[in-house]
Amino acid sequence: MSSLFANKTVSPLQKSLKVTDEEFTQLRDFIYKESGIFIAENRKYLIENRLSGRLKELNLKNFGEYYYYLRFDPRRKDELAKLFESITTNETSFYRNPPQLQVFQDIILKKVLDKLRAARTKKLRIWSAGCSTGEEPYTLAIMLHEVLKAEIVTWDIKINAMDLSLAVLASARTGLYTDYALRTTPKEIIQKYFLPKGAQCEVKPELKKLIHFQQGNLSDRLGLKRLERSQIVFCRNVIIYFDDEMKKQVIGSFYDNLLPGGYLFIGHSESLHNISRSFKPEYHPGAIVYLKEETGGKI
């Protein structure tokens, strides 16, 4: 996680404000309606830790006032963006969950590319949903280069990288990373695809070129329908923050977005069990991937 987000919680020197039961319910329901993120009763401290600093900045006395500010103040749209920045968990890294990425690079990507070649098209779309500070879509871009090599210039490729938080997207667009973000990236990959920039490393332009970063809300089912359709969707470590109803809705959006024969990748601690029977699970060593069958599955 970048140091940009180290200020999410109040510092140990500052005391966080207490949220009453009523205020918690109001804010929890508001956050759920706006983002799909569900904060359980036993995680009240999240609201207190992450939002107390903001209340102090706005000179608000309690969380009830903050709720009214979010609902009715003329600056509520800007505040909503700040709220999203505070409540989202943006932890990520390059090459996160290597066994799953190996399956992507060696098996799924090759299969999808062969299918496209057979259909005489070279248009590939990948959706990285909940891309955070960019490590996931840049990793996918590296893998595309590794597989296609010089042939990549003959392909029309776009990775649609989407997140709710404008702050993480701004950070992702810079393409600048510390050694910490690259801690699990093979040395030869760092040498090949990054340039040193001061104390940081910057991703090379050929990776940036493949990615289109954009703000989007996974709870906005209608808005997501406007996104171009994909052969592959990555949504890892995101639905873990949603309740079952929202998980079903979001997985339904991925199903609709995927072209027949397309694949969905979710986080290793996440599952579609009791959420969706539309996809056909494919079991590979180190990863389960979800196929949208050509004939269409059951919803």
Ligand X SMILES: C[S@@+](CC[C@H](N)C(=O)[O-])C[C@H]1O[C@@H](n2cnc3c(N)ncnc32)[C@H](O)[C@@H]1O
Kindly state whether residue 268 participates in binding ligand X, applying the rule CB under 6 A.
no
Nearer to ligand X, 149 or 226 (CB): 226
Binding of ligand X at residue 36 (CB under 6 A)? yes
List the one residue out of 154, 107, 109, 161 whose CA is nearest residue 138: 161
Say if residues 160 and 125 touch (Cβ distance below 8 Å): yes
Binding of residue 140 to ligand X (CB under 6 A)? no
105 counts as binding ligand X under rule CB under 6 A? no
132 forms part of the interface with ligand X (CB under 6 A): yes
Q: Which of 2, 9, 86, 88 binds ligand X (CB under 6 A)?
A: 88
Contact pick of 232, 238, 258, 289 for ligand X (by CB under 6 A): 238
Q: Which C-beta is closer to ligand X: that of 176 or that of 266?
A: 266
Q: Exposed (0-12), middle (13-18) or buried (19+): which is 275, by Cβ within 10 Å?
A: buried
Pick between residue 165 and residue 257 the one whose CB is nearest to ligand X: 165
Contact between 163 and ligand X per CB under 6 A: yes
Q: What is the CA radius of gyration of the chain?
A: 20
Mark the segment that binds ligand X (CB under 6 A) among 21-29, 202-210, 211-219, 270-278.
211-219
Using rule CB under 6 A, residue 37 touches ligand X: yes
Using rule CB under 6 A, residue 35 touches ligand X:
yes
Contact stretch for ligand X (CB under 6 A) within 56-64, 141-149, 157-165, 289-297: 157-165
> Which CB, 17 or 216, lies closer to ligand X?
216
Size of the residue set binding ligand X (CB under 6 A): 25
Position 136 contacts ligand X (CB under 6 A): yes
Establish if 237 lies at the interface with ligand X (CB under 6 A): yes
Region binding ligand X by CB under 6 A among candidate stretches 68-76, 200-208, 215-223, 258-266? 215-223
With helix as H, strand as E and coil as C, how does the chain read?
CCHHHHHHCCCCCCCCCCCCHHHHHHHHHHHHHHHCECCCHHHHHHHHHHHHHHHHHCCCCCHHHHHHHHHHCCCHHHHHHHHHHHHCCCCCCCCCCHHHHHHHHHHHHHHHHHHHHHCCCCEEEEEEECCCCCHHHHHHHHHHHHHHHHHHHHCEEEEEEEECCHHHHHHHHHCEECCCCCCCCCHHHHHHHEEEECCEEEECHHHHCCEEEEECCCCCHHHHCCCCCEEEEEECCCHHHECHHHHHHHHHHHHHHEEEEEEEEECCCCCCCCCCCCCEEEEECCEEEEECCCCCCCC
Does the footprint of ligand X cover residue 90 (CB under 6 A)?
Answer: yes
**Least spacing, CB of residue 51 vs ligand X, in Å:** 16
CB 289 within 8 A of CB 108: yes
Q: Report if residue 173 touches ligand X, rule: CB under 6 A.
A: no
The smaller minimum CB distance to ligand X, of residues 53 and 137, is found at 137
Q: Is 283 exposed, middle or buried (0-12, 13-18, 19+ CB in 10 A)?
A: exposed
Could you say which of 16, 86, 100, 165 contacts ligand X (CB under 6 A)? Answer: 165
Which listed residue (28, 82, 236, 292) binds ligand X by CB under 6 A?
236
Binding flag, residue 219, ligand X (CB under 6 A): yes
What are the residues binding ligand X (CB under 6 A)? 35-37, 88-92, 96, 130, 132, 136, 163-165, 168, 216-219, 236-238, 241, 267
